[in-house]
Structure formats: C-alpha cells, structure tokens
Amino acid sequence: MEKVKTGIVGLDDLLDGGIPKNNILLISGGAGTGKTIMSLQYIYNGAKLYNEPGVYVSTDQTEDEIRNQAKAFGWDLKDLEKKKMIRLMHIDITTVKDHEYLRKISAMIKSIKAKRLVLDSMTTLTEFLAPSEIKDNSKLFDMMGSVIPVSMTETMLAKNTIAKVIKQFKDTNCTAVVTSELPETTNWLSRDTVSEFLCDGVILLHYMALGEKDFSHLEVRKMRQTKHKRGTFELHFTPKGLEVKEEEKFG
C-alpha cells in the first residue's frame, strides 16, 4: 500500500511508513498541544520535501497568521505559494454560508492538483456552522424542535456536517488531516465524539505538567490498514518543528 510521508522526524516510523494514501487522519488534542504546527508541517514537508502540492484550510487563523506561524520554524510558505505548491485558505466562520466553503476547497485542490489537504479545525467549523444552518432552515428546525429538544438537533446537525465534510474529503484525491479539540477530561477521542469513527486514523496529542517540568506526548490511537506502534511517545517542539522521540516511551 502506498504511504504518504509526514516528514515529521519519528512519526512516519510510528505509522509504519506514513499515512495510507487517500486516508483521513484526525489529530485531536487540547489547547496548545501542537495540532496546528503538526498539520502545517505535514503540508510544508509535502511541498518542500516530496513535491506534493497541498491545501491548508484554517478556521482559526488568517492566511497571514498561518504564514507567520510557519516562519517561526523557518518554513517559507510564500515561496511555495508562488510555485503553486501550497494554497492557504481562511474560512471566516462568522460569515460562512452553507457549504460554499466546500466548493471553494474543491476549487483550490483542483487549481494546484493538491495531493494533501488539511482542515484546522473541524471543531470550530462544525460548532459555528450548526447554529447558522438552524437559522437557514428555521422552518424545518421549528418542526424538528417540536419533537426533539433543540440542543439535540444542534448536536445532530454538527454530526451531519462532520459526516458531509469527511465524505467530501474522501472524494478528493488527497490524503487529508483534520484537527479536533479535545477537552482535558473525556473518554472520547474528539470533542464531537464522531470524527474518530469517521476518520481512518486518530493521533492524540497530550500535554502534562509535573512540578517544574512539562511533557508533550503523542499516541497513535488508530490507523486503519496499518501496523502502527502503540503507546505514548515524547513530542518535542524544536526550532525546525515537531519531532517524535521513538525510543523514550512512557509506561
């Protein structure tokens, strides 16, 4: 099976070579655990090291903020954008209209024949989109609300949006990474509780502070069709980006 390398030191070995081609990988973790840096590094390495064009879609940061975050690690996105190897797209969740963003993402993928795709983050997109869809379909939801509690219709909508997004990503020719926020204490692998089942793979990022020391670590929770390594591995934030230390394993 063809594997798509992340190029992140240590990670491809954990994944038995990389992400299976055309799969969707969910990166889930709490605030500041490295979800954005990891997904950006996947797109940057694809373009820089493997000659694979990539589209990076962000709900949380503008294009300039993404470029600046990359610059902090010495990654020149502007140059790769000029060479049509990378396209950045910011979805403004306060103004986005029902699924027009999916058409835009498709057009961007086609414009550079992208092989890699990132959505950062699925949580923001679905949590903001669900209420706006309720407004757009108010009659339908008035009717549904009379038989189902409103909070439940919102949850159902968010899940429906996730399913739609993931289906659309599956239909592209891309190997995709989507990020999801994870509350500090939960038994689920994502805040929405469905992405982990719809995605082919799940990587969990954790942060832990003990006295004056703190640790970041990574766990490959699942990866369909892959004999991935199990356990928890140290994650390091270096001046060149993230690195996974394979040998030092916790518990």
Ligand X SMILES: Nc1ncnc2c1ncn2[C@@H]1O[C@H](COP(=O)(O)OP(=O)(O)OP(=O)(O)O)[C@@H](O)[C@H]1O
Residues within the interface to ligand X (CB under 6 A): 29, 31-37, 60, 72, 181, 237
Spatial CA neighbour of 116 closest among 202, 24, 197: 24
Closest residue to Mg ion, based on beta-carbon distance: 36
For the record, the structure tokens of 171 come out as 């239909």
User: C-beta of 153: minimal distance to ligand X in Å?
Assistant: 27
User: If binding is defined by CB under 5 A, does position 124 make contact with Mg ion?
Assistant: no
Q: Closer to ligand X by CB, 10 or 20: give it.
A: 10
With CB under 5 to 8 Å by kind, the binding choice for 37 among Mg ion, ligand X, none is ligand X
| End-to-end Cα separation, the chain, in angstroms | 31
Q: Closer to ligand X by CB, 32 or 231: give it.
A: 32
Cα dist from 204 to 122, 124, 152, 221, whole Å: 15, 18, 27, 7
User: C-beta of 136: minimal distance to ligand X in Å?
Assistant: 27
With CB under 5 to 8 Å by kind, the binding choice for 237 among Mg ion, ligand X, none is ligand X
For the record, the structure tokens of 231 come out as 């356990």
Cα dihedral: 188, 193, 197, 203 (round 10): -50
Give the binding-site size for Mg ion (rule: CB under 5 A).
2
With CB under 5 to 8 Å by kind, the binding choice for 192 among ligand X, Mg ion, none is none
Spatial CA neighbour of 6 closest among 236, 198, 21: 21
Q: Closer to ligand X by CB, 35 or 191: give it.
A: 35
How many CA atoms lie less than 13 Å away from 19 in the CB half-sphere?
28
Q: Closer to ligand X by CB, 40 or 129: give it.
A: 40
Is residue 227 within 8 Å of 16, Cβ to Cβ? yes
CB within 8 Å of 110: residues ≥ 6 apart: none
With CB under 5 to 8 Å by kind, the binding choice for 33 among Mg ion, ligand X, none is ligand X
User: If binding is defined by CB under 5 A, does position 36 make contact with Mg ion?
Assistant: yes
User: C-beta of 179: minimal distance to ligand X in Å?
Assistant: 7
User: C-beta of 160: minimal distance to Mg ion in Å?
Assistant: 24
Q: Closer to ligand X by CB, 50 or 207: give it.
A: 207
Alpha-carbon distance 100 to 224, whole Å?
A: 30
Spatial CA neighbour of 81 closest among 73, 70, 92, 95: 70
Q: What is the largest CA-CA distance in the chain?
A: 57
With CB under 5 to 8 Å by kind, the binding choice for 29 among Mg ion, ligand X, none is ligand X
Alpha-carbon distance 183 to 221, whole Å?
A: 17
User: C-beta of 144: minimal distance to ligand X in Å?
Assistant: 32
Q: Closer to ligand X by CB, 37 or 105: give it.
A: 37
Chain contacts with Mg ion (rule: CB under 5 A): 35-36
